Structure 1
Amino acid sequence: MSTASTRSDVARKGTTAALVALTAASCLQVVDPTANNIAIVGASVDLDMSSSQRAFAASVGTLALAAFILTTGALGDRLGRRKVMLAGLLVAIAGGLLTALAPTTGFFMLGRAVTGIGIAASFGLSFALLREVLPNKIPKAVAFWLAGQTAAALVLGVVAGWMAGFGWRYGYLTMPIVAVIAFLMCIRGLPEAKADTVGPFDYLGLSSVAVALIGIIYGLSNASTYGWGSGQVLAPAGVGVVAFVVFIWWEARIAFPAFPVKLFKDPELAGSVATGFSFNMWQAVVMIQLSMLWQYVYRYTPLEVSLGQLPMSLAMVVGATIAGRLLSKGVSAATNLIVGHVLLIGTMVVFGFSTTTSPYIFFALPMIVGGFARMLNETTMGQFFVSKPPPSLTGAMASSKTAIGQTSFALGTALSSTLLFGAYGRGIAAAFTQANVEPAQQGIYTGLIQTYVSGGDLSDYDPALVQKVVDTASGAFVDSFNTTMFVIAGFLAVFAVISTLFFARATKLRKAGLLVDGPIAVDEPTVQPGTS
């Protein structure tokens, strides 16, 4: 064997190992929401969370990821992407351990937030490093990276469910275990990379978007406890809205924005944002609220929940494959998206007709259809985020897509949790009132429900009483779940209309020769290498 051939084989093995390592680093973003969706039920009961705390706890990890994905990307450009990615893995490990060992709700929230920040760095920068590992075959590297995540979603979802079966704390240990393995794989053999040129660090933009997301999501989370018109909702949400306006205004006027807002004047990119909010919100609602319904009402074990959601993941694989083929055969993006929107809205409406005795197949079929439709929309949307930006803004657009996705996922989680548990609390109170239950007895019944949900000992209670209270609580929860599904279907319909209008405008502009395929022409500012 020649020396050249030997070197080629070594390089090929090194490249494959690097791709596997980067894929492992990205898998934290796959396993963490799955583990959280399953384990949050036990955590909320054990830590005695209020309805607002439960809604915020469900979304705080994803919220932190969304709020800091642009910041960690900017730091990677300046300090080194490999270095910041490895630091992110260590931060994620610390956050996961803090969550799993949390003695109180406050520590639990802190652990989830730290976890989200760590995943923001590991996920976003693992994607950015693909260009360094396989510079001449970027599509192949991206395909490998995505395929690895898909496989991990199938396997790690089951592992997370199995571990959560031993207790919610074990469920939250799944992510730090994966992070440790990824860190050991990434610590050697990966190249370092920084941006060739960087503009001034966007302190105002990055801080304002973090304040905006935290304020809005936190405010929404308080609605179930304090009411939609309360100061606890309006004050933080108002601060968030103001911060978001400042963010958009600032990003539109500076030369080196963290979020290239000017590009979204393109109707296809603007329509893609509405599409991204739609399918990410759908997935968040289905993953976490179905998990809660199955555990609260149908008494599914954590492992049964993870296995029950597997068909949705498999349907996503099929949906991505078919979407790619349809686009390559000339089927228009607008057609793909309309079909996807209709299917997503339809599945949400179907979920809204659940009963306390609905069989698994009732949920499985809409999950399969929705999983397919979700990837039909994401694959179609993704092509614009790759093809539209000019070379200098490719990285910013990649981070922007992730930020949009995680923001809408967190928003869907917080909004649906707030709606569900707010309606559930009102439903239980109405049932107690209708049955003329005294306030002191209501406290006993509430404790009984909590004991039932957590799997505690109910032998001290009259079996007939237990069954009656559980049936009442289950009915109230299902009614609240159904109402939430209908409301979320309405939100998805709004996003669908917005997306459709933008793509209709794009069609008119293209026919008039005013919109072309390929990168958007913009005046790209230049700076000297190494400036910051």
Structure 2
Amino acid sequence: MREAAIELRPFPATAEAGQDRKPDDQEFRNQPIGEQQPPRGLPASLTLFAMSLGYGVVQLDVTIVNTALDRIGSALGGGVSELQWVVNAYTIAFAAFILTSGALGDRIGAKRVFMAGFAIFTTASLACALAPNSAALIAARAVQGLGAAVLVPNSLALLNHAYRDRQARGRAVGIWAAGASLALTAGPLAGGALIALIGWRSIFLVNVPIGIAGLWLSWRYATETTRNRQREVDLPGQCLAIAALGCLAGTIIEGGAVGLHNSYVIAGFAASALLALLFIVQERRSSHPMLPLSLFGHRLFALTSLVGLLVNIAFYGLIFVFSLYFQRVNGLTPLQTGLAFVPMMGIVLPANLVAARISERIGAPAAIAAGGVLAAAGCVTLLPIEPGTPYVEMLAQLMIIGGGLGLLVPPLTATLLGSVETSRSGIAAGVLNATRQTGSVLGVALFGSLVGQPDAFMRGAHLALMISVVLLLIASVVIWRGAATRD
């Protein structure tokens, strides 16, 4: 799915940079210290390509791993809970660090931080490919998620710096987002093909040449942004955020294995609640909070954030469940599994494009609600599936789910950005992205726990579909009713 809600920070004023040429207009005079003149022509295009590689490889790794889960489990051992951690270690780090990494880029320069993120991501990808056991793979995936969180907001900051003209910047951001959407869609198919030809480790090795190319291009052509030394990094809030999210995801995963009545599971939920409370207290007290809680005072902002959370719980939770269903229950190969996801993922981008016209005609809240209801209908029609159900009998339903989700994402993002002051649109978009990634974490943890027992897989899959229906309908009602009352 197209992850369009990324932190959009305003680009700084420009000025002269370089003594070997005269500035050709007033725009490039009086340049702030630490900022370099933005690239033009081919260097600007290559900067765009480097930024697109960064965002694209992040989105690729959101979906490419799903087709390898069964092979990873067979090669490294462990059950469904270990596979949940392989997926969630990446997403937890991604969700928890994305806001802080944007602030870090503001403080010491987006180019420097972006290149560090690419180096981290590439090195961690190599570590994933060489992992001797599931624990090592999970640890490397967490580091990979950290690199992803660093790449995304700073790639957009560098694009803002490279393209000063509003129309040119809009086209550049559109290419950047479309490339990432294509990578997200291609992930399952690319993963299946690589596994069939080389093996499961190749899905991580493919990131290495991409990372090297992105590093070189960004070093050679991207120019540094202004360094704002006054921008603080909320380290206590950062630590509490990752602790709370990790504790909650871990508790849900282990609860599926040992039962929710287990004393350790109960203690885990209590600890998660305490950590979340401490996080809220820290953010209220901090002069530079990682998550400005005042944003949630805007009714529509709070509602769209909730909708983003619920939608991603359903969508990414179901992707995890169906990855295992196709391979472990119906016996498909990784390549066949990748092909099975193509219609569902492939319809998302066309639906994104159609969503703008629908929103103009019926309004953004109605378009969001319609997308949620459509996706819920697709889930309902999948409830009769059993072991051995022919894929052709699921094709239309999977496309309905993907189409519904594709319809609601663009108006959801636009509604959220329109609910706050323009000066806060960057952090607002960052919060939506973090919220949606949190939903992905919870979806994999919750739905994975439902299908963790081999003898109860189908019962868990049916329950996951029913929960998805409820969540999507709640999301539709929330935005439909909530939009009637504006700030």
- Calculate the TM-score normalised by the size of structure 1: 0.79
Measured after TM superposition, the shift of residue 119 of structure 1 is 0.8
For 1:261 and 1:380, locate their aligned partners in 2 and report how far apart those are by CA, in whole Å: 23
Matches within 5 A, 1:90-489: 90-137=119-166, 138-165=169-196, 166-194=198-226, 196=228, 198-327=230-359, 329-421=360-452, 424-425=453-454, 428=455, 476-489=456-469
Distance between the aligned counterparts of 1:139 and 1:164, measured in 2?
Answer: 37
- Cα distance in 2 for residues equivalent to 1:31 and 1:366: 24
Contact 1:355 1:478 in 2 (8 A): yes
- Between the aligned residues of both structures, percent identity stands at 24
> What amino acid is aligned across from residue 289 of structure 1 in structure 2?
V
The residue number in structure 2 matching 1:455 is none
- Could you tell which deviates more after superposition, 483-492 or 203-212? 483-492
Cα offset for 1:392? 4.2
Contact 1:345 1:492 in 2 (8 A): yes
Structure-2 separation of matches of 1:172 and 1:244: 33
Q: Which residue of 1 aligns with 2:20?
A: none
Please state how far the C-alpha of 1:401 moved relative to its aligned partner.
Answer: 1.9
Q: How far 1:297 sits from its partner (Å)?
A: 1.7
Contact 1:258 1:396 in 2 (8 A): no
CA shift, 1:57, in A, is 2.5
1:181-203: CA deviation from partner (whole Å, max 9, x where unpaired) = 32233221111114547443212
Look at both structures and tell me which one has the larger radius of gyration over its CA atoms.
Answer: 1
Unpaired segments ≥5 residues, structure 1: 5-9, 429-475, 507-514, 516-532
- 1:336 and 1:391 map into 2 onto residues whose CA distance is 23
Instruction: Please give the residue correspondences for 1:25-64 in structure 2 after superposition, counting only pairs within 5 Å.
Output: 25-64=54-93
Aligned positions of 1:501-520 closer than 5 A: 501-506=481-486, 515=487
Calculate the aligned-residue CA RMSD, in Å. 2.2
Q: Which amino acid aligns with 2:465?
A: M
Say if 1:490 and 1:256 are closer, same or farther in 2 by CA, change over 3 A: same
In structure 1, give the amino acid aligned to 2:77: D
Aligned mates of 1:196, 1:387 — CA distance in 2: 27
Cα offset, 1:158, TM superposition: 2.7
Q: For each residue in 1:108-140, what CA deviation from the matched residue of structure 2 results, as whole angstroms up to 9, or x when unmatched?
A: 110111111111111221122221111222322
- Cα distance in 2 for partners of 1:105, 1:357 equals 30
Question: Which SS does the other structure have where 1:371 is aligned?
Answer: helix
Corresponding position: 1:16 with 2:45: yes
Per-residue CA distance 1:38-76 (angstroms, 9 max, x = gap): 112211222221343233233111111111112222211
Shift in alpha-carbon separation, 1:128–1:11, aligned structure 2, 3 A: closer
Higher relative contact order (CA 8 A, sep 6+): 2
- Bigger Cα displacement from structure 2, 275-284 vs 106-115: 275-284
Aligned 8 A contact 1:158 1:307 in 2? yes
**Counterpart for residue 4 of structure 2:** none
Report what 2:31 is aligned to: none
Contact preservation (8 Å) 1:215, 1:238: no
String of CA shifts for 1:283-337, please: whole Å, max 9, x gaps.
Answer: 212322211111112222212222221212321111111111223x342122112
In 1, Cα distance between equivalents of 2:184 and 2:266: 37
Judge conservation of contact 1:35–1:174 (CA < 8 Å) in 2. no
Quick check: 1:270–1:502 contact (8 Å CA) kept in 2? no
- Which string of whole-angstrom CA distances, capped at 9 and with x for unpartnered residues, describes residues 125-170 of structure 1? 1122221111222322221111122233344543222112232222
1:82 corresponds to: 111
1:428-449 C-alpha deviation (Å, 9 max, x unpaired): 3xxxxxxxxxxxxxxxxxxxxx
SS at match of 1:259: coil
Show CA shifts across 1:390-413 (max 9, x none).
354333223212211111111111
What amino acid sits opposite 1:349 in the alignment? V
More deviation in 483-492 or 200-209?
483-492
SS in 2 for 1:352: coil
Paired letter, 1:207 = C
